[in-house]
């Protein structure tokens, strides 16, 4: 684990625990998104129990950040458009973290502009829900 990953992990872990979730830039700063929808990418979700010691949680988040670093660099907005056959807009990539049923959950998410885009991508990425940034709530797929 490198020092930078630990610094970013600490920022993400503290914010997520204090706010029961958050959306983060790659450097660990909170991304206060006011509009659009968040859709998680398939196969990048990971979790750890909140009963684990802080150092274990910190190591989990740091390892997660290191493991997704190449993914984030690989999937820049243009790559996202071509890889997922998206025709319009840009798709910023974020790290998501939230508390669910006593677990800290981490994932990689993209922000899209419309509900229709979010629902289409959520189905494509085999997700159970999307997140509405304006209402600050999850929208579950049927």
Q: CA-CA distance, 27 to 137, in Å (whole number)? A: 24
Q: CA-CA distance, 10 to 57, in Å (whole number)? A: 9
Tokens of 75: 């999937």
Residue pair 60/52 in contact (Cβ under 8 Å)? The answer is yes
Of 111, 141, 139, 123, give the one whose Cα is nearest residue 37.
Answer: 111
122-137 pLDDT, tens per residue?
998 999 999 999 999 9
Residue pair 16/98 in contact (Cβ under 8 Å)? The answer is yes
Residue pair 102/3 in contact (Cβ under 8 Å)? The answer is no
Q: Is the pLDDT of residue 51 over 90?
A: no
Tell me, what's the pLDDT at 26? 81
Tell me, what's the pLDDT at 122? 93
78-117 pLDDT, tens per residue?
555 555 555 455 557 789 998 989 999 999 998 888 999 8
| Helices marked H in the chain | 3-19, 54-74, 77-83, 115-124
Stretch among 3-7, 52-56, 130-134 having the lowest mean pLDDT: 52-56
Residues 6+ apart with CB under 8 A from 62: 1, 5, 6, 8, 9
Residue pair 47/60 in contact (Cβ under 8 Å)? The answer is no
pLDDT tier, 142 (very low <50, low <70, confident <90, very high otherwise): confident
Q: What percent of the chain has pLDDT over 70?
A: 85
Tell me, what's the pLDDT at 52? 79
């Amino acid at each position: 684990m490198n020092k930078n990953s630990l610094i970013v992990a600490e920022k993400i872990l503290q914010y997520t625990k204090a706010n029961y979730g958050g959306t983060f830039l790659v450097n660990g700063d909170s991304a206060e998104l006011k509009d659009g929808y968040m859709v998680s990418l398939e196969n990048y979700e990971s979790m750890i129990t909140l009963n684990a010691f802080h150092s274990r949680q910190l190591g989990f988040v740091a390892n997660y950040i290191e493991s997704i670093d190449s993914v984030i660099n690989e999937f820049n907005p243009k790559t996202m458009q071509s890889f997922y056959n998206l025709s319009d807009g840009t798709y910023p990539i974020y790290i998501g973290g939230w508390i669910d049923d006593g677990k800290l959950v981490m994932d990689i998410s993209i922000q899209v502009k419309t509900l229709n885009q979010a629902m289409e991508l959520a189905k494509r990425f085999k997700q159970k829900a999307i997140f509405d940034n304006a209402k600050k709530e999850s929208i579950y797929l049927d």
